[in-house]
Structure 1
Amino acid sequence: MTTRLGTASAGPGEVDTGRLEVGETRDGSPFGLPVAVVNGERPGKTLYMQAASDGDELNGVGVLQRVVPQLDPTEIAGTILIVGIVNYHAFQVAEHRNPIDDTKMNRAYPGSENGTSSERIAAATFDVAKRADLILDLHQGSTSRMIDEVRVRCGQRHRLHDECLELAKAFGCGYVLDQKGPDGQLARAAPDEGIPTVDPELGGCVGWDEESIRKGVEGVLNVLTYYGFLDGSIDLESQTRASGFEQYGAPCGGLVSLQKELGDEVARGDTLYEVTTPFGEPKETVTADSDGILWRTRRLPQVATGEYVCSVGTDVDTY
């Protein structure tokens, strides 16, 4: 059976790309999100993938750029639906939020077809996502430095929590943040529709990072194999899971010197970072409140009072 997504149309054993029209730009020209359909020759599940719902998070775009050419629909069971760039307006200007309505796109789901720019894009992509059995929403830690991880955002009491956790394990980045996310995230909204959903957070960088993209490509192929889209099998590997997330800010202005590396284990009372003057004179030392793992850090050393410095994943276990 032919599968359509926007202007893309693919019969069994075919791939097609096109556009999903979602509105007009400020000069009245129509615009559409880039989409792809990979229609397997054999019947099977449907996977939905999207990237760049935050316009400066480009590693997911890099993953799709590399994954799609590798997919031979004659060797696939099932269907893969892809929106390559969700936050169209932010992507054009390399910004995080949609500049048309100053909205973070991944807080707009399930959206509204008669709402703001972001709500309309969210509604259009959510309609596509609801056609799927599984969802991968590809992200990164914006322009901060961050480990490669997968986020399970539905909450541990959600009826689909175990299925989402299994999907995260199949992706296999090595680290999982298992913490209920804010309202409006796709990974919060889609499980309410009965669809296991995770958002891989593929590192953090300016532009994109080849190592994080490589891990993302491997993760997508792992999912396709584990859930039967591709022939073969994979053994699920244990993941390091954090169920809490503590953020640390600067107690004063100056230059930050981190004392831990990303992925390092942290014990309560360990020094996380020091703040000095431009001449190296010590001003403040910040220590960890809890045991955990250094998960994310700012990229630039200069800080003002109260500015974000780093995050520690806490309540860590292995599953």
Structure 2
Amino acid sequence: MTTLGTASAAPGEVDTGRLHVGETRDGSRIGLPVAVINGAADGKRLYVQAVSDGDELNGLGVLRRFVPQVEPAELAGEILIVGIVNYHAFQVAEHRNPIDDTKMNRVYPGNENGTSSERIASATFDAAVSADLVIDLHQGSTSQMIDETRVRCGKRHRKHRECLELAKTFGCGYILDQKGPDGQLARAAPDEGIPTIDPELGGAVGLDERSVDIGVEGLFNVLREYDFLSGTADIEPQIRASGFDQYGSPSGGLVDFAVDLGDRVSAGDRLFTITDVFGTVKSEITADNDGVFWRTRRLPQVATGEYVCSVGTDIDTY
């Protein structure tokens, strides 16, 4: 029997339920939506979660298509899924948990007696570290970004190679291999010996079906390559970045980008121009280093010093 919260499935079965993580302000129980898929044969355990940030919906879009496609009779092993981690933020379509003004993916491994976010992190972390592999589905918030998978444990970590292999298997095409901030699930779970990745499925307001497609295929790549399903994943070389250059605007105005997401850029290439409202050029910004044009703001208007774009640097192929 495979159990997560109130969901419980015998071999060859699927079940959904709720994972209790506290109460709302009126005393109602809070239950995160969960699913368990118990394969007909023995095998590994995979843990997947989405909506750690309440306005990042592409991961949820992946799960609502992925779960109905998995046939437990064909599966070896188990899949534990938390569909919405940041319950409070999801309800109000905000990034951070409004109960404690906290970014959920900065408090792992959490605290079962702590703040709202720490309690949710603790409950989901317990599920994550019961698994053999962990996938934490994200996106680049509401900005515009390439589809990429992040390895956040750091290159000196004992689980780095296994995390990197999992990222390559997921197969977004791009990997950011850079140690992440403390409190990320993709930092905390490898410390417990669990290979973990953080796919950033583009960036969108609402759902981006192209990124959802990539996420669904990524999960099935993992199932095939790690022997949950028969067959093998079609794994191709990935473009890997180990650093970021971020660019702000030196003046206020409107942004015109000179390159597209995913383009290779060389040091000195023009990245964007700032004009005033009548089209007069105020600033031109060029790349400091060679890299890949990785992420941009969504809206064209900027104030002095406001974030505009990022370039992935230290590029190689893995």
TM-score, normalised with respect to structure 1:
0.99
1:229 aligns with 2:216: no
Partner of 2:280 in structure 1? Answer: 281
Match of 2:113 in 1: 114
1:146-225, aligned counterparts within 5 Å? Answer: 146-225=145-224
Aligned-pair CA distance for 1:144: 0.3
Question: What SS does the aligned partner of 1:136 have?
Answer: strand
Q: Please give the secondary structure, in 1, of the residue aligned with 2:214.
A: helix
Name the TM-score, length of structure 2 as normaliser: 0.99
Report the CA distance between 1:28 and its aligned residue: 1.0
Whole-angstrom distance in 2 between the partners of 1:234 and 1:276: 47
Gaps of 5+ in 1: none
The CA deviation at 1:233 is: 1.4
Distance in structure 2 (CA, Å) of the matches to 1:84 and 1:259: 38
Q: Within 2, Cα distance between the matches of 1:202 and 1:159? A: 26
Q: Counterpart amino acid of 2:29?
A: P
CA RMSD of aligned residues (A): 0.6
- The reply on whether 1:314 has 2:309 as its aligned counterpart is no
Mapping for residues 22-61 of structure 1, pairs under 5 Å? 22-61=21-60
Deviation at 1:235, TM superposition (A): 3.9
Deviation for aligned residue 1:236: 2.3
Corresponding residue for residue 264 of structure 1: 263
The answer for the alignment partner of 1:14 in structure 2 is 13
CA distance in 1, matches of 2:188, 2:116: 19
CA distance in 2, matches of 1:197, 1:301: 35
Supply the AA of the counterpart residue of 2:306: E
Write the deviation string for residues 224-259 of structure 1: whole angstroms up to 9, x where unpaired. Answer: 000000011124210000001111111111101111
Residues 88-167 of structure 1 aligned to structure 2 (within 5 Å): 88-167=87-166
The alpha-carbon deviation at position 74 of structure 1 amounts to 0.7
Distance (whole Å) between structure 1 residues aligned to residue 115 and residue 265 of structure 2: 43
Aligned-partner residue type, residue 144 of structure 1: S
Percent pairwise identity: 75
Q: Give CA-to-partner distance per residue, 1:86-108, whole Å, 9 cap, x none.
A: 00000011110000011000001
Amino acid at match of 1:201: E
In 2, the alpha carbon distance for the partners of 1:199 and 1:75 equals 26
Distance 2:80 2:25 in 1: 29
Write the deviation string for residues 48-76 of structure 1: whole angstroms up to 9, x where unpaired: 00000001010000000000000110110
Paired position in structure 1 for 2:301: 302
1:3 Cα deviation after fit: 1.0
Q: Deviations over 1:171-198 (max 9, x none)?
A: 0111000000000000000000000000
Correspondence for 2:69: 70
The residue identity in structure 2 corresponding to 1:18 is G
Query: Match of 1:239, as an amino acid?
Result: Q
| Alignment partners' CA distance in 1, 2:23 and 2:233 | 44
Moved over 2 A (4+): none
Residue of structure 1 in register with 2:243 after alignment:
244
Give deviations 1:106-163, integer Å, cap 9, x for gaps.
0010000111110000000000001100000000000000000000000000000000
1:17 is aligned with what amino acid?
T
The size of the alignment, in residue pairs, is: 318
In structure 2, C-alpha distance between the alignment counterparts of 1:127 and 1:279, rounded to whole Å: 56
SS in 2 for 1:284: strand
| One-letter amino acid matched to 1:225 | R
Output the amino acid matched with 2:292: I
1:250-292 Cα distance to aligned partner (Å, 9 max, x none): 1111101111100001110111111110111111111111100
What is the letter of the counterpart of residue 35 of structure 1? V
2: CA distance between counterparts of 1:289 and 1:234? 37
Measure, in 2, the Cα distance between the counterparts of 1:137 and 1:194. Answer: 16
